[in-house]
Amino acid sequence: MTHTDADAPDAVVDPAYPVTATSPETGLTAAEVAEREARGQVNDVPVRSSRSLTEIVRANVFTRFNAIIGVLWVITLVVAPIQDGLFGFVIIANTGIGIVQEWRAKKTLDSLAVIGEARPTVRRDGTAVEIRTSRIVLGDVLEIGSGDRVVVDGVCVEADGLEVDESLLTGEADPVVKRPGDPVMSGSFVVAGGGAFQATKVGREAYAAQLAEEASRFTLVRSELRTGISTILKYVTWMMVPTAIGLIISQLVVKENAFGDSVARTVGGIVPMVPEGLVLLTSVAFAIGVVRLGRKQCLVQELPAIEGLARVDTVCLDKTGTLTEGGMDVTGLRMLGGADEAYVRTVLAALGTSDPRPNASLQAIIDAFPADGPARDWHRTGTLPFSSARKYSGAAFREGDGSSGAWLLGAPDVLLAEDDPALAETGRLNERGLRVLLLARAARELDDPRAGDGAVPTALVVLEQRLRPDAAGTLRYFAEQGVRAKVISGDNAVSVGAVATKLGLDGEAVDARRLPAGREEMGAVLDRGTVFGRVTPQQKRDMVGALQSRGHTVAMTGDGVNDVLALKDADIGVAMGSGSEATRAVAQIVLLNNSFATLPSVVAEGRRVIGNITRVATLFLVKTVYSVLLAVLVVCSQVEYPFLPRHLTLLSTLTIGVPAFFLALAPNKERARPHFVRRVMRYAVPGGVVAGAATFVTYLLARSHYTGADALEAETSAATLTLFLVSMWVLAIIARPYTWWRVALVAAMGGAFLVVLAVPWLQDVFALRLVGTAMPWTAVAVAVVASAVLEAVWRYTDRRAGG
Backbone φ, ψ for residue 108 (5° rounding): -65, -45
Residue 7 predicted with pLDDT over 60: no
Residue 13 predicted with pLDDT over 60: no
Average pLDDT over residues 337-347: 88
Average pLDDT over residues 341-369: 85
Q: What is the structure's pLDDT at 169?
A: 67
Position with higher pLDDT, 516 vs 220: 516
For residues 309 and 555, the answer to whether their CB atoms sit within 8 Å is yes
Residue 112 lies in a domain: no
Residue 46 lies in a domain: no
176-177 and 456-467 beta bridge pairing: unpaired
Please choose, from the candidates 626, 598, 771, the residue with its C-alpha nearest in 3D space to the C-alpha of residue 695.
626
Query: What is the rounded distance in angstroms from the CA atom of residue 87 to the CA atom of residue 264?
Result: 12
Query: What is the rounded distance in angstroms from the CA atom of residue 615 to the CA atom of residue 680?
Result: 8
Query: What is the rounded distance in angstroms from the CA atom of residue 769 to the CA atom of residue 719?
Result: 11
Q: What are the Cα distances from residue 172, in Å, to 147, 219, 696?
A: 18, 17, 65
For residues 290 and 56, the answer to whether their CB atoms sit within 8 Å is no
pLDDT one-digit tens code per residue, 65-113: 777 778 878 888 887 778 777 777 777 877 887 788 778 777 776 776 6
Q: What is the structure's pLDDT at 170?
A: 63
The H or E element spanning position 736 is: none
- Beta bridge mates, 435: 463
Q: What are the Cα distances from residue 158, in Å, to 180, 181, 703?
A: 5, 9, 90
Query: What is the rounded distance in angstroms from the CA atom of residue 401 to the CA atom of residue 398?
Result: 8
Residues 704 and 783 occupy one common structural domain: yes
Q: Which of 467, 483, 513 is the last residue of a domain?
A: 467
Q: What is the structure's pLDDT at 688?
A: 92
Please choose, from the candidates 475, 515, 508, the residue with its C-alpha nearest in 3D space to the C-alpha of residue 494.
508
pLDDT one-digit tens code per residue, 222-232: 677 778 877 88
Residues 27 and 175 occupy one common structural domain: yes
- Domain of residue 784 covers 53-105+222-290+603-801
pLDDT one-digit tens code per residue, 274-288: 777 777 777 777 778
Average pLDDT over residues 663-670: 79
Average pLDDT over residues 52-62: 79
Could you count the other beta carbons within 10 Å of the beta carbon of residue 260?
14
State whether the Cα torsion 576-214-192-380 is positive or negative: negative
Residue 28 lies in a domain: yes
Q: What is the structure's pLDDT at 265?
A: 74
Residues 33 and 153 occupy one common structural domain: yes
Q: Tell me what percent of the residues of the chain surpass a pLDDT of 70.
A: 90
Q: What is the structure's pLDDT at 17?
A: 39
State the catalytic residues.
Answer: 318
Please choose, from the candidates 303, 291, 354, 339, the residue with its C-alpha nearest in 3D space to the C-alpha of residue 161.
354
Please choose, from the candidates 307, 171, 298, the residue with its C-alpha nearest in 3D space to the C-alpha of residue 594.
298
Residue 168 predicted with pLDDT over 70: no
Residue 661 predicted with pLDDT over 70: yes
Q: What is the structure's pLDDT at 702?
A: 93
Residues 344 and 363 occupy one common structural domain: yes
Residue 147 predicted with pLDDT over 60: yes
Query: What is the rounded distance in angstroms from the CA atom of residue 632 to the CA atom of residue 689?
Result: 12
Residue 259 predicted with pLDDT over 90: no
Q: What is the structure's pLDDT at 775?
A: 93
- Beta bridge mates, 486: 316
For residue 543, the Cα-to-chain-centroid distance in whole angstroms is 20
State whether the Cα torsion 603-605-608-610 is positive or negative: negative
Please choose, from the candidates 559, 515, 538, the residue with its C-alpha nearest in 3D space to the C-alpha of residue 319.
559
Residues 262 and 303 occupy one common structural domain: no
Nearby residues of 775 by Cβ (< 8 Å), 6 or more positions away: 701, 702, 705, 706, 714, 718
pLDDT one-digit tens code per residue, 584-629: 777 888 888 878 888 888 888 888 888 888 888 888 889 889 988 9
Per DSSP, the residues of 571-583 read SEEEEETTS-HHH
Query: What is the rounded distance in angstroms from the CA atom of residue 407 to the CA atom of residue 209?
Result: 42
pLDDT one-digit tens code per residue, 467-482: 888 888 888 888 888 8
Range from 196-205, 256-265, 359-368, 675-684 carrying the lowest mean pLDDT: 256-265
Helix axes 53-61, 86-116, angle to 10 degrees: 150
Residues 409 and 458 occupy one common structural domain: yes
Residues 95 and 157 occupy one common structural domain: no
At 507 the three-state DSSP class reads: coil
Grade residue 208 by pLDDT with cuts at 50, 70 and 90: low
Residues 593 and 633 occupy one common structural domain: no
Query: What is the rounded distance in angstroms from the CA atom of residue 199 to the CA atom of residue 29?
Result: 15
Q: What is the structure's pLDDT at 655?
A: 92
Number of H helices, E strands in the chain: 28, 21
Residue 301 predicted with pLDDT over 80: no
Q: What is the structure's pLDDT at 106?
A: 75
At 274 the three-state DSSP class reads: coil
For residues 527 and 570, the answer to whether their CB atoms sit within 8 Å is no
Query: What is the rounded distance in angstroms from the CA atom of residue 488 to the CA atom of residue 469?
Result: 19
Residue 681 predicted with pLDDT over 60: yes
The H or E element spanning position 328 is: strand 324-335
> Cα angle at 324 between 322 and 326, to 5 degrees?
90
Could you count the other beta carbons within 10 Å of the beta carbon of residue 605?
25
CATH number of the CATH domain containing 189:
2.70.150.10
CA atoms within 13 A on the CB side of 756: 24
Grade residue 189 by pLDDT with cuts at 50, 70 and 90: confident
Burial of 694 (0-12, 13-18, 19+ CB in 10 A): buried
Residues 652 and 585 occupy one common structural domain: no
Residue 6 predicted with pLDDT over 50: no
Position with higher pLDDT, 581 vs 631: 631
Residues 134 and 9 occupy one common structural domain: yes
Residue 801 predicted with pLDDT over 70: no
Residue 750 lies in a domain: yes
Please choose, from the candidates 210, 166, 163, 299, the residue with its C-alpha nearest in 3D space to the C-alpha of residue 573.
299
- When the pLDDT of each residue in the chain is averaged and rounded to a whole number, the result is 82
Q: Which of 162-171, 425-434, 630-639, 691-700 has the highest mean pLDDT?
A: 691-700
Query: What is the rounded distance in angstroms from the CA atom of residue 285 to the CA atom of residue 668?
Result: 12
Residues 316 and 340 occupy one common structural domain: no
Residue 48 lies in a domain: no
Cis peptide before 737 (omega within 30 of 0): yes
Grade residue 216 by pLDDT with cuts at 50, 70 and 90: very low
Single-letter amino acid, residue 82: I
At 298 the three-state DSSP class reads: strand
Residue 709 lies in a domain: yes
In the chain, how many domains are there?
4
**DSSP label at residue 251:** I
At 241 the three-state DSSP class reads: helix
- Beta bridge mates, 317: 487, 557
Please choose, from the candidates 489, 492, 511, 536, the residue with its C-alpha nearest in 3D space to the C-alpha of residue 165.
536
Position with higher pLDDT, 745 vs 133: 745
Q: Which of 417, 434, 467 is the last residue of a domain?
A: 467
Residue 83 lies in a domain: yes
Residues 637 and 782 occupy one common structural domain: yes
Per DSSP, the residues of 133-199 read GGG-BTT-EEEEETTPBP-SEEEEEEEEEEEEE-HHHH---S-EE--TT-EE-TT-EEEEEEEEEEE
Burial of 207 (0-12, 13-18, 19+ CB in 10 A): buried
Average pLDDT over residues 475-495: 85
Nearby residues of 388 by Cβ (< 8 Å), 6 or more positions away: 191, 490, 536, 537, 560, 561, 562
For 216-293, list the strands marked E by DSSP: none
CATH number of the CATH domain containing 549:
3.40.50.1000
Query: What is the rounded distance in angstroms from the CA atom of residue 326 to the CA atom of residue 180?
Result: 32
CATH number of the CATH domain containing 425:
3.40.1110.10
For residues 166 and 176, the answer to whether their CB atoms sit within 8 Å is yes
Residue 217 lies in a domain: no
At 486 the three-state DSSP class reads: strand
Please choose, from the candidates 574, 315, 328, 360, the residue with its C-alpha nearest in 3D space to the C-alpha of residue 467.
328
CA atoms within 13 A on the CB side of 564: 31
Q: Which of 410, 438, 467 is the last residue of a domain?
A: 467
For residue 36, the Cα-to-chain-centroid distance in whole angstroms is 37
CATH number of the CATH domain containing 99:
1.20.1110.10
Q: What is the structure's pLDDT at 3?
A: 37
Q: What is the structure's pLDDT at 294?
A: 82
Helix axes 711-734, 599-637, angle to 10 degrees: 150
Report helix, strand and coil shares of the chain as percent, to nearest 5.
55, 15, 30
